[in-house]
């Protein structure tokens, strides 16, 4: 099995980090320190890991970050009050509220409370609207932006291609479709969004020149669902039992990688594919927020 068709997300993320670090250095030369505020509510173990990784990357690139951890009993009003303070703080250029939030807090209300100019996650309704309209002045959600960047930097042409996206979520599926359907460079694709109510999912998948799996079902995409030579982007993160690992579990994507890789034209590994790009785009978005705020 050749590794020649692998899209190396870690290597491409490092290219992007080098570009972002240069932009941060340019801001610092003007006396501007880009700042990113993380907010976590409760003790979700995955959220701790994700924020920790993002903090380390920020420090490595020269971006200042702060993390506020609130107890799980925090009310929605208290969280909104904190966001109002961060919105008003000129040294904070980007704000990231780590999902999931406790059940008693309405995520949509929280995401809409972050100032659009500091919404480096791209979840504010104004930024969602700008993405739909093809307005490049907004912020694009980090994971679909990362997938798009992987396609561009891997030399994958999207113009006129059949793209099938598995999953219609607000974080990946819908924004991914909006990015690739635009009348713009590195877009212009014919996009089909497949979901839990779609008929004959496999038939849709087999049409795809580019297949983007973002449904959260472990190893759902099998070899017989993939057209030979198709580009396969695996966004899924699923924990499954594994008797051979110390923890008793392992992380797998939404694609049955071992069987799909031999027939794919290009494919992202998982881990090491889309994940590093999500963090890279967050750093890039925060740097851009600082650039825009201090023009």
Mean pLDDT by runs of 10 across the 295 residues of the chain is 84 98 98 98 92 97 98 98 98 97 97 98 98 98 98 98 98 98 98 97 98 97 98 95 92 96 97 96 98 94
The C-alpha atoms of residue 95 and residue 73 are separated, in whole angstroms, by: 21
Q: Confirm whether 86 is domain-assigned.
A: yes
Token pair for 5: 């068709």
Task: Give residue 227's pLDDT.
Answer: 98
- For this structure, is 33 an active site residue? no
Task: Give residue 2's pLDDT.
Answer: 52
Contacts of 4 (CB under 8 A, 6+ apart): none
- For this structure, is 106 an active site residue? no
Range of the domain at 160: 142-275
- For this structure, is 28 an active site residue? no
Q: Confirm whether 8 is domain-assigned.
A: no
Residue 102: give its domain's CATH number.
3.40.50.10860
Per the residue annotation, which of 119, 121, 209, 254 is the catalytic one?
121
- Do residue 157 and residue 246 come from a single domain? yes
Task: Give residue 3's pLDDT.
Answer: 73
Single pTM value for the model: 0.96
- Do residue 109 and residue 175 come from a single domain? no
| Pairing outcome for strands 190-194 and 162-166 | parallel
Task: Give residue 1's pLDDT.
Answer: 37
């Amino acid at each position: 099995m050749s590794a020649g068709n692998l899209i190396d997300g870690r290597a491409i993320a490092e290219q992007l980090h080098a570009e972002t670090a240069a932009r941060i250095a340019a801001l610092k030369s003007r006396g501007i320190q880009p700042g990113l505020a993380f907010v976590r509510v409760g003790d979700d173990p995955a959220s701790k890991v994700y924020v920790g990784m993002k903090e380390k990357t920020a420090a490595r690139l020269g971006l200042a970050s702060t993390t506020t951890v609130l107890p799980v009993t925090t009310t929605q009003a208290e969280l909104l009050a904190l966001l109002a303070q961060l919105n008003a703080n000129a040294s904070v250029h980007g704000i990231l509220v780590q999902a999931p939030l406790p059940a008693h807090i309405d995520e949509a209300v929280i995401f809409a409370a972050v100032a659009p100019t500091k919404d480096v996650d791209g979840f504010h309704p104004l930024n969602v609207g700008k993405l739909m309209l093809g307005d490049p002045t907004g912020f694009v959600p980090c994971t679909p932006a990362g997938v798009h960047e992987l396609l561009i930097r891997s030399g994958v042409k999207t113009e006129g291609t059949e793209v099938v996206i598995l999953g219609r979520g607000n974080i990946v599926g819908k924004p991914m479709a909006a990015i690739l359907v635009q009348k713009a460079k590195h877009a212009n694709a014919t996009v089909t969004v497949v979901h839990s109510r779609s008929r004959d999912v496999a038939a849709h998948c087999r049409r795809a020149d580019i297949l983007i799996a973002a449904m959260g079902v472990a190893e759902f995409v099998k070899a017989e669902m993939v057209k030979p030579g198709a580009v396969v982007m695996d966004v899924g993160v699923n924990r499954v039992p594994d008797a051979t690992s110390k923890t008793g579990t392992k992380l797998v994507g939404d694609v049955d990688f071992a069987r799909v890789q031999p027939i794919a034209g290009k494919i992202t590994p998982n881990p090491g594919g889309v994940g590093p790009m999500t963090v890279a785009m967050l750093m890039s978005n925060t740097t851009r927020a600082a650039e825009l705020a201090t023009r």
